[in-house]
Structure 1
């Protein structure tokens, strides 16, 4: 039992040093000791182990104090990489974007391919080429417009995705963990990463060609619901055919109706609306008129954003990188 306790404590201490270096980028042993509360002797042993694992690089301080220059230990963000891929509309074209990122979220390479030009064989060949070019990749993240049940995609506006199990498709041939996330969930993660996660925040995405989807976050936690189906708003009986949505004022009314309904049910503090079909300023005026007809007991803050692609990419990237963080039971 004592040996197990010692091993666990060492793992905690390694993570403490790793966390400080990952945040600061570089530090000396005394600086690490001050930040972690560990002794310099303990830090020296931990730094040596992290260096042997390839996570740190030792460099000379360069600051002359008349004696031997202190060593600075720089965290090597590139010692482990992740492959992040997501499917998104770009100017009406369904496009798969691939990015290899380091532990600091910096992209080392980016590639795009038209979704219609990919099949199972060409997709796997693409992934294999990236893994060969970047052998330090240790995880794969996939962002999809749809929802999976027990790993299998059961709900999606893209029929070619239905029935696929990405973990089996990619995990088995390449032996890497696969992270799967819904597009609007990932986008809301990306949005919240830059600000406060307090309260209830909703993200609703209105694609050009497909039905809308919604993400729900309460105090920083995304709500998946049973089988991950929370937020599948296209199933609401609103009398709206989202596959052939109305235009003009009728479209604005449809969006108002949806926003009003989720506001009544969830009473969010803020709603982020994504989509290019509606001018945010014009819609807000329609929303004010709608509220005059149908008041809310607690009116949310509404924000229109044109940064869905950016938030989607950053959200799935950060979620994938979390799988590479060492875990201590």
Structure 2
């Protein structure tokens, strides 16, 4: 009890927990009540987008419970490393208790280095290394937009921890992307290339693939081909199709054509959800919060 009391007093002094005073007495000595202080520190999430030629960054500030305290979107002519630094300078100047920054990008990120990216000025940039040198003491993560979206959707749906889950997105004038949860864990791949489903062997050039994505019949064919491939490889319990190029009215025919190639007992639940901005942000905030915890996991081996 003395040890616990000492630790609690230290946490109260630092402000990490709040002393709520004694509880109501039930006959004996009243218990002391404490509460985790979610506002002791905060984190910032940046979502970088490029849609229909418009570049934007959505920034959000959240507390340690993952609750969004502020959210705003700005449009830019160009987004590069300097753009991100200027935005963070502004945000960190306003909020002095930020402990972590998470960044979502429309591209591939590996060990803090951006690879293929829809924002050309960011491709090939070691963004995390640059930002960590500029902002010492801040935890920095960067992650692919599809991985964050699937992470957010998965957590909000409360699937079984060992479930397989997939998200597939078809946006206008962009190649398809996907994100996967395998056995309850996000699948990134050996070189963080997992989910780049536009590289599936469709039997056509990438230029022709992009052209077909602009026609109703072409996109239907590519969607079915991609879904069948995903089912055969990871056998998900559910698959969510997202993106502005997909309409809810397409679901029935997509499912029917998939069932012609996949036995019914192996078909996942198929859903169409065009707007996943909330789930994307949820995934980013959740993953950024997790970056503040110890990088140690206990894995039970069968």
Is the pair's TM-score, using the shorter chain for normalization, greater than 0.5? yes
| Paired position in structure 1 for 2:140 | 178
Deviation at 1:328, TM superposition (A): 7.2
Residue 208 (structure 1) aligned to one of 172, 179, 200: 172
Task: Output aligned runs, 1:99-248, within 5 Å.
Answer: 99-175=60-136, 176-194=138-156, 195-196=158-159, 197-238=161-202, 239=204, 241-244=208-211, 245-248=213-216
Secondary structure, aligned partner of 1:78:
coil
CA shift digits 1:166-190 (9 cap, x unpaired):
2122111111221111111111111
List alignment gaps of at least 5 residues for structure 2: 298-302
Number of aligned residue pairs: give it: 289
Instruction: Look at both structures and tell me which one has the larger radius of gyration over its CA atoms.
Output: 1
Task: Output aligned runs, 1:1-329, within 5 Å.
Answer: 40-61=1-22, 63=24, 71-88=32-49, 93-175=54-136, 176-194=138-156, 195-196=158-159, 197-238=161-202, 239=204, 241-244=208-211, 245-292=213-260, 294-296=261-263, 298-326=266-294
Deviation at 1:255, TM superposition (A): 0.7
CA shift digits 1:197-245 (9 cap, x unpaired):
3321111111223111111211211122221111111111212644332
Deviation at 1:115, TM superposition (A): 4.0
Deviation at 1:53, TM superposition (A): 2.3
Following TM superposition, the consecutive aligned residue runs of length 4 or more in structure 1 with deviations greater than 6 angstroms are 64-69
Distance 2:94 2:164 in 1: 42
More helix by percentage: 1
Secondary structure, aligned partner of 2:236:
coil
CA contact (8 A) 1:157 1:211 kept: no
Distance 1:63 1:290 in 2: 61
Deviation at 1:262, TM superposition (A): 1.7
Using structure 2 for the length normalisation, give the TM-score.
0.86
Secondary structure, aligned partner of 1:224:
coil
Using structure 1 for the length normalisation, give the TM-score.
0.79
